[in-house]
Amino acid sequence: MNLVANLFRASIGKKFLMAVTGAVLLAFVTGHLVGNLQIFSPPDKINGYAHFLQSLGPALWGVRLVLLACVILHIWIAVLLTIENSRAKPEKYDFDYTIRATLASRTLRWTGGVVLAFIVYHLAQFTVGWAQAGEFKTSLPGYTMAADFHLLGFPVVARGQEVHDVYSMVFLGFSHPLVSLFYIVAVGLLSFHLVHGAESMFQTLGWKSGRWAGLLRKVVVLYCVLYFLGNLAIPGAILTGAVKPAPATYAAQKLAAPAASLPAVVQR
């Protein structure tokens, strides 16, 4: 208990906890993107993957609780460090000298706030179904697997099994321009947030040295650009019609129908 209390008392301890929670969240958003990119594969891929995650039951909720704890702790520590920095500089300078501070570092708290709002909305829309657009008011039917779904070479979802139609959910959700625009802006700000956040994480954990600091920054920037482009590809391709839903899927049927008949997004 004394060790935990000391971590929260000392600034370096707070920064260490912020780096650790940031690393967990960085791993999650990367894995989340890899899973979402399966929307460009046949429907069995993303539907089977989503069903496998849902079938984990208590284990999935355990992961969700850990992620929720990391988000809360990350935000709380950020607020504490901001207050500490403000108290350390009670007097404002006549001129704002930010010679070494990057734009990403100076806007970290603001981009973080927008990303938090996006997370809440994203969960309300795709996970619990509380924030549906007006034309998404009926439930999606289930999807029958056309083939076995394998994960790491092991069959985890059998052919013919009925699962949630996440494939149609994504297509129908991102067919709404405002939803896609908000998503693109939010992941853009998240990517910008990570430019400084990821580099600071490596520095706090002692993985950044003068010898390869320049290379590390380039790798971080490259990752953030690729992360943004990967997320942009999903709503961008759907909204522009560059990628069409697979024939005979519920999304293909509904996107060919009048907008008033579009269904709700099912729970994920």
Q: pLDDT tens across 170-206, in order? A: 898 888 898 899 889 888 988 888 888 888 888 887 7
Go through the domains of the chain in sequence order and give each one's CATH number. 2-88+98-261 (1.20.1300)
pLDDT at 88: 65
Interior angle at CA 34, CA 167 and CA 149, nearest 5: 55
pTM here?
0.78
pLDDT at position 245 over 90: yes
Query: Are 165 and 143 in contact, with CB atoms under 8 Å apart?
Result: yes
Q: What are the residues whose beta carbons fall under 8 Å from the beta carbon of 189, sequence distance 6 or more?
A: 111, 114, 115, 118
pLDDT at position 224 over 90: yes
pLDDT at 2: 58
Segment holding 17, helix H or strand E: helix 11-36
Mean pLDDT for 28-49 is: 93
pLDDT at position 102 over 90: no
Map 205-263 to HEC letters.
CCCCCCCCHHHHHHHHHHHHHHHHHHHHHHHHHHHHCCCCCCCCCHHHHHHCCCHHHCC
Q: Which two tokens stand for residue 148?
A: 């076995």
DSSP state of 157: E
State the CB neighbour count (10 A cutoff) for residue 221: 16
Ordered DSSP codes for 23-87: HHHHHHHHHHHHHHGGGGS-HHHHHHHHHHHHHTTHHHHHHHHHHHHHHHHHHHHHHHHHHHHHH
DSSP state of 165: -
State the chain's mean pLDDT as an integer. 79
- pLDDT over 90 for what percent of the chain? 29
